Amino acid sequence: MRLYYRIAPSVLFFFALFLSSISCVSFASTSKSNSTTTEASSTNAFSVLARQAVLGFRINQGDDQTVRIVHVEANSPAHQAGLRAGDRIHQINQHSFHYAYQAQALLKKLQGGQTLQLQLSRGEDSPPHEIQFTPKPRPQEHIPGVISHYRSVQLSPQIKLRAIITQAEHQQGPRPALLFTQWVSCSSIEYQPGSNGLDILAALARHSGYALIRVERSSDGDSQGPACHELDYNSELDHYVQAYRQLLQDPLIAQAPVVIYGASLGSTTAPLLAQRLQEQGIEVAGVAIQGGGAYTHLERMIHFDRIYLERRADAKPHTIHQEMAQRIRFHHEYLIKQRQPDDIARDNPAMAQVRHHVFGLGQGQHYGRPYAWHQQAAQHNVLAAWLALQGRALVIFNEYEQFEMRHGHQIIARTLNAQRPGSARYVEQTGLGHSNNRYASIADAYLWRNGEGQAQQTAKVILDWLANEIAD
């Protein structure tokens, strides 16, 4: 799920985040030989999506109530307009906000070519002033050896999602579909080099023989709809189902069983998506996952707390027993009884203490997602969804996994193979961590120290499974 943390005597613990329809799909394509874009809807011109803006600056994240510029790219329109690191933002296009994550959501919705107006102050005593500039549109992705076909999928008048169908240059024409479900954190899944998760997708697009289909969340990229801190688990799953059903009708997609690949906590939505598609008459040939097992979400969040208590810089092993007892009570109230964290905190001083110290649990969001995302995730029976799978399964667990549990992965393969012998393959990759970096030791992995990207190794495991166990 792209969660990162560090532990060292001089470094604080750091745990940050690395997810009735209207039939309407619009089209655009890019390749090495043609970088121009044409996008036109076959049924509704309003479904065409403008490109997201390249801001040229970054702000702080999370629950901070003071929003500041932390970086400005040299020679960008933002820099030329006078924006500087350290500037405080009070308003974005005349919209106010309470927390940094709300400001981030406003900025992510800005389209290239639109004027951005910021109300700023510089220094503690300076009065607010306004600047404005026009960020450029984000360029389309370029994956060597691959052609990217841009699509726009309209699910409702308010929700329009960017989709990208990628095929190897030498394998054009209708191909079977490989669908992707992403990690919990909200970030664009358009290709950028240097990201293990995106490099795996690029390798699958280039070498699998499948048409890789990605759908941006409503919060990310060019998509329109609920922001990250508003998008709950069930809505995200519904968006996947509706969007992929439409995209499977695309002329580039062969009428053949589909395969689904889920990464990190996308490993929980992948079998649920498969179950929903199967119920609607779409054959699923297989599901591959890495970095998220079949434990309940309650177990997962309790385990995350255990990791935090054991590995934080000021860890106190003798207190963990009692702290875990209190945190288990809190999570039961929060995830199972679906109460609001602040309401639980009012129960007694012990719950107030837990609410204050559960890592990633902010005001209105938990790891960047609404409380409802986690509460709904806790209601889903992921192992039952795996048991409903009619196709084959590939389960990848990395030996130095920093968050998920080995048994949560093994239980998928063991349960499926007990029901249908030989239907599931379990692969454990030696020396790799959650994000597919290789580490010299588990101690280095826990510190996220000196990791070397191994995207191609993980991609090869998936490619071999596709070639040897999934029939076209």
How many domains does the chain contain in total? Answer: 3
pLDDT at res. 359: 83
The tokens of 240 are what? 């996947």
Neighbours of 453 (CB within 10 A): 16
Determine the structural domain holding residue 373 and report its residue range.
Answer: 297-377
Answer whether 19's CB lies under 8 Å from 214's CB.
no
Does position 21 have pLDDT exceeding 80, yes or no? Answer: no
pLDDT at res. 471: 67
Residues 82-100 have a mean pLDDT of 92
Domain membership flag for residue 314: yes
Select from 12, 3, 7, 9 the least CA-distant residue to 449.
7
| Mean pLDDT of all residues belonging to the chain | 89
* Residues 237, 331 share a domain: no
pLDDT digits (tens, 9 = 90+) for 274-285: 999 999 999 999
Q: What distances in angstroms separate CA 410 from CA 2, 169, 390, one per listed residue?
A: 21, 37, 19
Provide the CATH number for the domain around residue 438. Answer: 3.40.50.1820
Select from 114, 264, 271 the least CA-distant residue to 185.
264
Does position 27 have pLDDT exceeding 60, yes or no? Answer: no
Q: What distances in angstroms separate CA 387 from CA 25, 90, 371, 392, one per listed residue?
A: 33, 51, 28, 11
Does position 419 have pLDDT exceeding 90, yes or no? Answer: yes
Last residue of a domain, one of 341, 356, 377: 377
* Residues 230, 344 share a domain: no
pLDDT at res. 63: 65
Residues found in the chain:
472
pLDDT digits (tens, 9 = 90+) for 28-57: 444 444 332 334 333 333 347 999 999 999
Does position 193 have pLDDT exceeding 60, yes or no? Answer: yes
Q: How confident is the model at residue 11 (pLDDT cuts 50, 70, 90)?
A: very low
Q: How confident is the model at residue 340 (pLDDT cuts 50, 70, 90)?
A: very high
Amino acid symbol at 227: A
Helix, strand, coil % (nearest 5) of the chain? 35, 25, 45
Does position 93 have pLDDT exceeding 80, yes or no? Answer: yes
Does position 68 have pLDDT exceeding 60, yes or no? Answer: yes
| Pairwise pLDDT comparison (29 vs 296), residue with the higher score | 296
Separation of first and last alpha carbons in the chain: 30
Select from 294, 356, 311, 367 the least CA-distant residue to 330.
356
Residues 308-330 have a mean pLDDT of 91
Work out whether strand 116-121 and strand 88-92 pair parallel, antiparallel, or are unpaired: antiparallel
Q: Which of 60-69, 194-203, 383-392 is the least confident region?
A: 60-69
pLDDT at res. 62: 66
Work out whether strand 211-215 and strand 177-181 pair parallel, antiparallel, or are unpaired: parallel
Q: Which of 185-194, 203-212, 241-250, 309-318 is the least confident region?
A: 309-318
Last residue of a domain, one of 137, 162, 178: 137
pLDDT at res. 115: 95
* Residues 393, 255 share a domain: yes
Q: Which of 7-16, 146-155, 293-302, 360-369 is the least confident region?
A: 7-16
* Residues 174, 276 share a domain: yes
Q: Give the DSSP letter of residue 345.
A: H
* Residues 408, 290 share a domain: yes
Contacts 24+ apart (CB under 8 A), 80-85: 80/133, 81/131, 81/132, 81/133, 82/131, 83/56, 83/57, 83/118, 83/120, 83/131, 83/133, 84/122
pLDDT at res. 1: 44
Q: Could you give the CA distance from residue 326 to residue 322 in angstroms, rounded to a whole number? A: 6
Does position 384 have pLDDT exceeding 50, yes or no? Answer: yes
Residues 303-327 have a mean pLDDT of 91
In the three-class reduction of DSSP (H, G, I as helix; E, B as strand; rest coil), residue 258 is classed as strand
Maximum distance among all Cα pairs of the chain, rounded to whole angstroms: 71
The tokens of 41 are what? 């809807």
Q: Phi, psi (5° rounding) for residue 8?
A: -160, 160
Last residue of a domain, one of 101, 120, 137: 137
CA 405 to chain centre: 19
* Residues 155, 115 share a domain: no
Residues 434-453 have a mean pLDDT of 94
